[in-house]
Chains A and B, each alone.
Chain A
Amino acid sequence: MNTYIIKRLTAMVVTLWLIVTLTFFLMHSLPGSPFNQERTTSEAVQKNLEAFYHLDEPLLVQYGSYLKSLLTLDFGPSIKNSSQDVNDMLGRGFPISFELGLWTLLVAITSGIILGVVASLRHNGIIDYLAMTIAVVGISVPNFVMATLLIQQLAVKWPIFPVATWSSSMHMVLPILALATGPMAIIARLTRTSMLEVLTQDYIRTAKAKGLSPFKIVVKHALRNALLPVVTVLGTLAASILTGTFVIEKIFAIPGMGKYFVDSISNRDYPVIMGTTVFYSTILIVMLFLVDLMYGILDPRIKLHKKEGK
């Protein structure tokens, strides 16, 4: 177990380093300096600006100092908004994005599991077909389309929820719904498949023979085993929710991290792009790692270090 964790941690660090290096050199391979658009700047101002952002130093030196500042969790200043640090942006945007992401994950997991379990208990019944239709539609419809449909139907046609922004709990409903549909559908399908498999197992028959209540059988005996495959996809789901926040925050004008990221792309604000990319990647990599650890804890049959050697 310990060797596994160490191995994984090393791989994580290497992956992160790769991301940092990749983003750094990609950003710096772009021709011209980021200030070229501003024609009015004089030679001296240009020099000063470059000195301020250390752009006049050799690339490797810049790379070294960027790595060093990353170790102290300093992402540097923004180029377009010189008054702002990337850290400030992350500090302001992250709590909002985190709230959105966490609620989405919760909604997706609970509704997905309920949908999947109900479908499996009514296998090939009307409810099953209904649930799986919802699931396949949820997988097929991109979240930006879902978001627009929700706004049009539930905010414009019938003004139940506010159209955009992020201030009250009512504001949160539509973005969360739009973002949660896809992951919910994936969880529902996975839960249904593995529940159907688990429900035919001998130990379920034993539980029935013991006279346990159907509720107890499903929750305590079946679901616990059926949820393992669901846990494995949590990492990928978190990734898709995270990238989903880019468009959802853009559509709903939510001042989260995704909005900064998208804005920084259209503004070509390289330090912000780099900072957010590194930040996002770290979250994702840590998530994947935690999911793998959780999987090992939930299923004692899985020996993590053995899986590694295979």
Chain B
Amino acid sequence: MELRKQHESNISPEVPDEWFVPKPKDRNEAEAVVRPSLSYWQDSWRRLLKNKLAMGGLVFLVLLVFMAIIGPLLSPHTLDQELTRQNLPPSSEYWFGTDELGRDVFTRTWHGARVSLFVGAAAALIDFIIGVIYGGIAGYKGGRTDNLMMRIVEILYGLPYLLVVILLMVVLGPGLSTIIVALSVTGWIGMARIVRGQVLQIKNYEFVLASKTFGTKTGRILRKNLLPNTMGPIIVQLTLTVPTAIFAEAFLSFLGLGIQPPHTSWGMMANDGLSTILSGYWWRLFFPAFFISATMFAFNVLGDGLQDALDPKLRR
């Protein structure tokens, strides 16, 4: 009580009420933007950075691409066979061991990574191009065109994906380019459906109408107005397409329908390794199987993360 009195007496005489004057209002200052504005992509990127698991996946994938490029150069061994060093376990000389023809598993793993990543990237690119064009046209034109185009998609959607791919592989003959063709034949359908749904929704927004009133051509509206605004779901779909394609390649190679020797892929290495696993040559299965699984895992968590990061509804 006494303390408070002292306190009051201390302040009140020296700080008269007149000193408290409202600060003059400054229009410009009130309207000023304090923080730098974030674009959609910056905002999404910021949110993705916070997602540790997704970033882990992204870092892994970047490293994987890096290793696929320079990996084979790191090892002193080439893809050549050397029958004197069959099935050696991992050591300081052969980091991942050797296979039954004496080939270095480390070198082969990164050569396989090139094939797997190439298949994934090519399938994703083709799906993207066909899916965006098909879905974009169906969604934007609407009406009869849309109805017809979606009927076709509906029928194709009923086709069992891997069965069709297997069938095409049988007919076209195994090989890298035929895998990509076979994967693309039905692969674009999911993308087309997503793009169409998005375009149907966005084409009614005011900015598209504004664009139309300025006399913008259809192609330009699709490219400049609709596509950028559907990019979020498209990217998420792409992160699903790539592991599906990689898995399909591994699956086909495992059935003997994929990449043919002397080329290699993870699926083929796993298939080779599988037959010798009971002899104890675990490294021949472990390394390709590990990288298939890890890549699928990385794409899955990255896809999940992107889905959250790119969803404008979750924007804060």
Contact of B170 among A139, A141, A268 (CB under 8 A): A268
The complex places the Cα of A29 from the Cα of B292 at a distance, in Å, of 34
User: Which residue from A27, A145, A156, A265 sits with its C-beta under 8 Å from B257?
Assistant: A265
B48 part of interface (Cβ distance < 8 Å): no
Query: What CA separation (Å) do A56 and B262 show in the bound complex?
Result: 38
SS class, residues of chain B in contact with chain A = helix
Q: Mark B275-292, 1 if CB is under 8 A from A, else 0.
A: 001100010010001001
The answer to whether A247 and B167 touch across the interface, beta carbons within 8 angstroms, is no
> Which of chain A's residues 256-308 have a Cβ closer than 8 Å to chain B?
262, 265-266, 268, 273, 277, 280-281, 284-285, 288
Q: Is A51 an interface residue (CB 8 A)?
A: no
Residues of B within 8 A of A285 (CB): 158
User: Which residues 12-36 of A sit at the B interface, judged by CB distance below 8 A?
Assistant: 12, 14-15, 18-19, 22-23, 26-27, 29-30
A69 contacts chain B at the CB level, 8 A cutoff: no
Which A residues touch B277, using CB under 8 A? 148, 151-152
| Nearest CB of chain B from residue A184's CB, rounded to whole Å | 15
Q: Are B278 and A156 in contact (CB under 8 A)?
A: yes
A142, B250: Cβ atoms closer than 8 Å: yes
Q: What residue in chain B is nearest A147 (Cβ atoms)?
A: B274
Closest to A280 in B: B163
Q: Which residues of A contact B250 (CB under 8 A)?
A: 142
In the complex, the answer to whether A136 meets B292 with C-beta atoms within 8 Å is no
Specify which chain B residues have a CB less than 8 angstroms from the CB of A142 in the assembled complex.
Answer: 247, 250-251, 270, 289, 292-293, 296
B window 239-255: CB within 8 A of A: 247, 250-251, 254-255
- For A265, list chain B residues within 8 Å (CB): 166, 170, 255-257
Q: Are B158 and A247 in contact (CB under 8 A)?
A: no
Is A247 touching B293 in the complex (CB atoms < 8 A)? no
Contact of A145 among B155, B156, B162, B270 (CB under 8 A): B270
Asked if A5 lies at the interface with its beta carbon under 8 angstroms from chain B, I say no
B255 touches A247 (CB 8 A): yes
**Cα separation A156 to B274 with both chains bound (whole Å):** 14
Given contacts A136-B300, A142-B250, contact A243 B274 (CB under 8 A): no
Residue of B with least CB distance to A309: B147
Whether, in the assembled complex, A144 has its beta carbon less than 8 Å from a beta carbon of chain B, the answer is yes
A residues in contact with B164, CB < 8 Å: 22
Per-position contact with B for A56-100: 1 when CB-CB < 8 Å, else 0? 000000000000000000000000000000000000000000000
Most buried by B among A23, A139, A140: A140
Is A251 positioned at the interface, with any CB of B under 8 Å from its CB?
yes
A15 touching B155 by the CB < 8 A rule? yes
Q: Is residue A166 within 8 Å, beta carbon to beta carbon, of the partner chain?
A: no
Nearest-neighbour CB distance to chain A for B58, whole angstroms, equals 16
A239 at the interface (CB under 8 A from B): yes
Cross-interface CB contact of A29 among B171, B289, B300, cutoff 8 Å: B171
Interface string of B129-168 (1 = CB under 8 A from A): 0000000000000000000000100111011111110111
Which residues of B lie under 8 Å from residue A280 when comparing CB positions? 160, 163
- A11 interface residue (CB < 8 Å to B): yes
CB distance from B256 to the nearest CB of A (A): 6
Q: Is the CB of B168 within 8 A of A15?
A: no
Min CB distance, A171 to chain B, in Å?
Answer: 17
Q: Is the CB of B171 within 8 A of A140?
A: no
Q: Are A140 and B274 in contact (CB under 8 A)?
A: no
Q: Once the chains are docked, how many angstroms separate the CA of A200 from the CA of B293?
A: 34
Q: Which residues of B contact A250 (CB under 8 A)?
A: 255
Chain A residues with Cβ below 8 Å from B170 are: 26, 265, 268, 273
User: Which bracket fits the contact residues of B?
Assistant: 35 or more
User: Which residues from chain A contact B294 at a C-beta distance below 8 Å?
Assistant: 140
CB-nearest residue of chain B to A145: B289
> B271 contacts which chain A residues (CB < 8 A)?
144
Query: How far does the Cβ of B20 sit from chain A's closest Cβ, in whole Å?
Result: 47
Chain A residue at smallest Cβ distance from B295: A140
Closest-by-CB residue of A relative to B172 is A26
B135 smallest CB distance to A (angstroms)? 15
A140-B297, A142-B247, A246-B255 are known contacts. Are A277 and B167 too (CB-CB below 8 A)? yes
Q: Is B189 an interface residue (CB 8 A)?
A: no
Quick check: B270 and A144 within 8 Å, CB to CB? yes
> Chain B residues near A23 (CB, 8 Å)?
167
B168 to A243, Cβ gap below 8 A?
Answer: no
Chain B residues within 8 Å of A251, by CB: 274
Q: Which residue of A lies closest to B197 (CB)?
A: A310
Q: Nearest Cβ distance between residue B200 and chain A, in whole angstroms?
A: 9
Tell me whether B293 and A26 are in contact (CB under 8 A): no
Complex partner residue of B154 from A11, A19, A148, A151, CB under 8 angstroms: A11
Which residues of the other chain, A, contact B168 by a CB distance below 8 angstroms?
26
Closest chain-B Cβ to A22's Cβ sits at a distance in Å of: 7
In Å, the complex CA distance between A22 and B160 comes to 13
Is A130 on the interface with B (CB-CB < 8 A)? Answer: no
Is A144 a contact partner of B274 (Cβ separation < 8 A)?
Answer: yes
Name 16 interchain pairs, CB-CB below 8 A, sorted by A: A12-B158, A26-B171, A27-B171, A136-B297, A139-B296, A145-B289, A151-B277, A151-B278, A152-B282, A239-B162, A243-B251, A247-B254, A251-B274, A265-B256, A273-B167, A280-B160
Given contacts A265-B257, A285-B158, 6 further A-B contacts (CB under 8 A): A11-B158, A15-B159, A18-B155, A26-B171, A144-B274, A268-B170
**Shortest Cβ-Cβ A-B pairs, 3 listed:** A140-B297, A15-B158, A140-B296
Chain A contact residues, CB within 8 Å of chain B: 11-12, 14-15, 18-19, 22-23, 26-27, 29-30, 136-137, 139-142, 144-145, 148, 151-152, 156, 239, 242-243, 246-247, 250-251, 262, 265-266, 268, 273, 277, 280-281, 284-285, 288
**Interface residues, chain B, with chain A CB atoms under 8 Å away:** 151, 154-156, 158-164, 166-168, 170-171, 247, 250-251, 254-257, 270-271, 274, 277-278, 282, 285, 289, 292-294, 296-297, 300-301
